[in-house]
Structure 1
Amino acid sequence: MKQLGLLETMESFLVEEGGSSIVDSKGKPIISFGVIGAGEKGGTFDLTCEYEFMRGDFVRMMYDTSLREREILTSRGITQGSLTYEFNTTITSLDCSSPTSTTVTFSTGETKTYDLVVAADGQGSRTRRLAFGEEVEASSFKSLNVHAAYYNVPRLPTEDSLARLYLPSRNRGIMTRTGNKPITQVYLFLFKDAQRGAKMRSVQRQPLADQKAAWIEHFEDAGWDAPRFMEGMKSAKDFYATEVLQIHMPEKKIVKNRVALLGDAGYCPSLMTGMGTTLSLVGMYVFAGELASRSGDVDAALAAYQNTMKQPIEEGQRLNGMTDALAMFPASEWGAWVAHTLIWSLSSFRVDKMLGWLAGWLPKGKEEQGWKVPEYPALNAKAPEMEVR
């Protein structure tokens, strides 16, 4: 963001989250965590980093900035490479059989041919499916046996800026984030239940009311503020539910002739890694850098993008600590009591601090050094000082 000149803009809408707590069924904190600094590596339950923002704010920033950049270029008489947004329009078919172009048919019935099509439409990418086919589409999904739902409810005057995580029984999880916003974000999770997972997978294709009913059925007796969250869900207009998964393209192939996959569409790491936005921005930077460096040789740029992204994709999709995290979501009431007691004990004896202190003294092996972001002088920008781990 600093490299793009957007860091100050992004800082203006950051969520002021003071840390996080794991709470019991009465909402009482069991253990609390602080804020992870930029570039620092957090632990299993560290939920808050220095740069927390709402997705909508970030998208708005990128959209508005792109329009301003287009206006600047137009004022200089540069019209080649124009930028146009088409809303309420989708791609219905792709012909990517040509090695030098791709023909696109839109939902409006219009057909156009482009030098390059970039699929950046998320983990459920329709463009990916049209370009690579149903067989590749099916084999690219790696389920983590987790389902999640997201929505907002009105904030209570008593809610502070801490994120909260609650671990009820039956492999469920509830997380809330408020920060300095007038709303409370609610996240619901269902873990490790194949039968329940199959049901939730099927209900995702049902009307929104049916999806909400399924989630309410699973969480109305969860304890803590679940009744409030379930009531708020009924009227929530931003409710969204999905299966948590990763996208692993066969043979790590993210390019097909003149179609390239970018971000979650090509290498979704899942929310369990916390690397989704980072990996997408890295992919965007590498993609633009390779195109800018190849003097119009699109094929060479796509090949370089494919090759350069292999290591950051591999590192960004690692599920380090996920097994430990899932083990903390108890299946039974007794398991919930054990989990809460264990977490309370760790907090009381400051074991979390001791482990963090020891971790700082441990030597880092080669595999932990991280992929270095390349520099692309053609972009007239220095590579960001960051690593993908």
Structure 2
Amino acid sequence: MDVLISGAGVAGTALAYWLRHHGFTPTVVERAPRVRAGAGVVGLRGEALDVLDRMALLEQVKALHTHLGGTPRPDGDGDPPAVAFAGDLQILRGDLVGLLHEAACQEVEYVFADSIASVEQDPAGVRVTFERGRPRRFALVAGADGLHSRTRSLAFGPRERFIRHLGIYTATFSLPGHLGLPGSDRLPGMAGKAAGVLTIRDNAKAHAALHFASGPLAYDRDDVTQHKRIVAGRFAGEGGPIPRLLEETSRAQDFFFDVNAQVEMDRWSSGRVVLLGDAGYCAAQTSGLGASQALIGAYVLAGELADASGEHTAAFAVYEREMRGFVAEHQQMGREGADRFFMGTPLHEGVGMVAANVPEVACGQIVRLKDYAPSFAATRP
């Protein structure tokens, strides 16, 4: 059974791995010319670590644990306090996607520098046209193309119907070392703004983040030069290390800018098209749990398709039932994190995203990871 996956991020690449594991034939289409590196740090915890273990990747992730550093503030005894993070492990997003891609790419077709233009469903499958490649037919289509999912717009309707804006924009980018800047979790406060510099692996690397409060902005999502101008304008006139950070944005090759928002949908499938990760249920960067949610969703979706021998209607229904409570709690954490974002608490997750601003306890809603047998191969046409 051929399955098209739109998006080669955490969710899409993990889904490709698990679908192939279960005997399906996945194809991944990615609009970027290569696997995206990205500057952010992601937190991984709970069942997501179990998924990585089942992929035989957990030890490699542990080896790439960032060991985020900074300038700790001593407690009353003069000793540096323990720093709490939203994830049990932290890893550069690019490192995580690279590991997933390496695990999947040997047996999965990847099509880079292209994207879905249209989907036409019929009882037997889905005809997909692409921006550049020739049309092809697939049994199923999975949208794992993020907050601004084209797949979601094509199959479910305009993005405005599903996006909840949380009032914060974030820019992240790498620094060539810590540049003598204060390596702290949050730089001196500014009204409606926040900045952070985090050192990684004993100061061998550093990443910066700039955040500002704003209502919805109109801009070209593909115009990085415009993104840098927006950030520079918002932080113009600020002192301290801000001018140096703005100077570094002009050189950053991995500059990322986006809104903190959530995707809220009554259903995650429409016929033979299904959504996962941020495309279907983004919890926002302020939850600190997007990568974990994507890994778990990919595992469950692929496993349910295998258990149902490819019968997508039944599989999609169980996938949604298994994930709904888990997603709802993560989204609540994301909203609470956004509400408290500029209240002065430390920033850690996602290079300055909120970890200390959301509960440090384990989620009440969990996904019981089933042991899905790779049995679909026997029935594959």
114 and 308 in structure 1: CA distance in 2 versus 1, 3 angstrom threshold: same
Residue 112 (str. 1) matches residue 126 (str. 2): no
- Using the alignment, how far apart are the partners of 1:108 and 1:3 within structure 2? 36
Residue 254 of structure 2 corresponds to 238
Q: 1:213 aligns with which of 229, 239, 253?
A: 229
Q: 2:97 aligns with which of 59, 64, 67?
A: 59
Residue 164 (str. 1) matches residue 151 (str. 2): no
- Work out whether residues 275 and 317 of structure 1, in 8 Å CA contact, stay in contact via their aligned partners in 2: no
Residue 351 of structure 2 corresponds to none
TM-score (norm 1): 0.71
Residue 310 of structure 1 corresponds to 324
272 and 295 in structure 1: CA distance in 2 versus 1, 3 angstrom threshold: same
1:146-225 equivalence runs, <5 A:
146-156=168-178, 158=180, 163-180=184-201, 182-191=204-213, 193=214, 197-198=215-216, 201-205=217-221, 207-225=223-241
In structure 1, what residue type is equivalent to 2:57? L
Secondary structure class of the residue paired with 1:244: strand
- Unaligned runs of at least 5 residues, structure 1: 24-30, 37-46, 71-82, 330-338, 341-351, 381-389
- Size of the aligned set, in residue pairs, is 308
- Using the alignment, how far apart are the partners of 1:205 and 1:17 within structure 2? 29
TM-score (norm 2): 0.72
275 and 101 in structure 1: CA distance in 2 versus 1, 3 angstrom threshold: same
Q: CA deviation at 1:242?
A: 0.9
- Work out whether residues 87 and 288 of structure 2, in 8 Å CA contact, stay in contact via their aligned partners in 1: no
Q: CA deviation at 1:114?
A: 0.7
Q: CA deviation at 1:163?
A: 4.9
Residue 326 of structure 1 corresponds to 341
Q: 1:288 aligns with which of 299, 302, 321?
A: 302
Q: 2:120 aligns with which of 95, 100, 104?
A: 95
- Using the alignment, how far apart are the partners of 1:323 and 1:123 within structure 2? 17
33 and 189 in structure 1: CA distance in 2 versus 1, 3 angstrom threshold: farther
Secondary structure class of the residue paired with 1:222: coil
- Using the alignment, how far apart are the partners of 2:83 and 2:70 within structure 1? 5
- Using the alignment, how far apart are the partners of 1:95 and 1:53 within structure 2? 38
Secondary structure class of the residue paired with 2:207: strand
In structure 1, what residue type is equivalent to 2:369? P
Residue 24 of structure 2 corresponds to none
Residue 44 of structure 1 corresponds to none
Residue 343 of structure 1 corresponds to none
Q: CA deviation at 1:19?
A: 6.4
Residue 6 of structure 1 corresponds to 57
56 and 93 in structure 1: CA distance in 2 versus 1, 3 angstrom threshold: same
For residues 328-352 of structure 1, what are the alpha-carbon distances to aligned partners after superposition, in whole Å with 9 as ceiling and x for unaligned? 15xxxxxxxxx99xxxxxxxxxxx9
- Using the alignment, how far apart are the partners of 2:153 and 2:101 within structure 1? 25
158 and 230 in structure 1: CA distance in 2 versus 1, 3 angstrom threshold: closer
In structure 2, what residue type is equivalent to 1:374? L
Secondary structure class of the residue paired with 2:288: coil
RMSD: 3.1
For residues 66-125 of structure 1, what are the alpha-carbon distances to aligned partners after superposition, in whole Å with 9 as ceiling and x for unaligned? 134x2xxxxxxxxxxxx20011111111113x2441110012251111111011111111
111 and 190 in structure 1: CA distance in 2 versus 1, 3 angstrom threshold: same
Secondary structure class of the residue paired with 2:142: strand
- Using the alignment, how far apart are the partners of 2:286 and 2:303 within structure 1? 28
- Work out whether residues 114 and 133 of structure 2, in 8 Å CA contact, stay in contact via their aligned partners in 1: no
Residue 68 of structure 2 corresponds to 17
In structure 1, what residue type is equivalent to 2:278? D
- Work out whether residues 193 and 342 of structure 2, in 8 Å CA contact, stay in contact via their aligned partners in 1: no
- Using the alignment, how far apart are the partners of 1:267 and 1:186 within structure 2? 26
145 and 20 in structure 1: CA distance in 2 versus 1, 3 angstrom threshold: farther
Residue 277 of structure 1 corresponds to 291
- Work out whether residues 103 and 113 of structure 1, in 8 Å CA contact, stay in contact via their aligned partners in 2: yes
- Unaligned runs of at least 5 residues, structure 2: 1-51, 347-355, 376-381
146 and 291 in structure 1: CA distance in 2 versus 1, 3 angstrom threshold: same
For residues 361-383 of structure 1, what are the alpha-carbon distances to aligned partners after superposition, in whole Å with 9 as ceiling and x for unaligned? xxx9xxx6422423134259xxx
Q: CA deviation at 1:256?
A: 0.5
- Using the alignment, how far apart are the partners of 1:304 and 1:20 within structure 2? 46
- Using the alignment, how far apart are the partners of 1:90 and 1:379 within structure 2? 29
- Work out whether residues 105 and 111 of structure 1, in 8 Å CA contact, stay in contact via their aligned partners in 2: yes
- Using the alignment, how far apart are the partners of 1:18 and 1:113 within structure 2? 49
Give the fraction of aligned pairs with identical amino acids, expressed as a percent.
27
1:364-383 equivalence runs, <5 A:
369-379=364-374
Which structure is higher in RCO with an 8 Å CA cutoff and minimum separation 6? 2
Larger Rg: 1
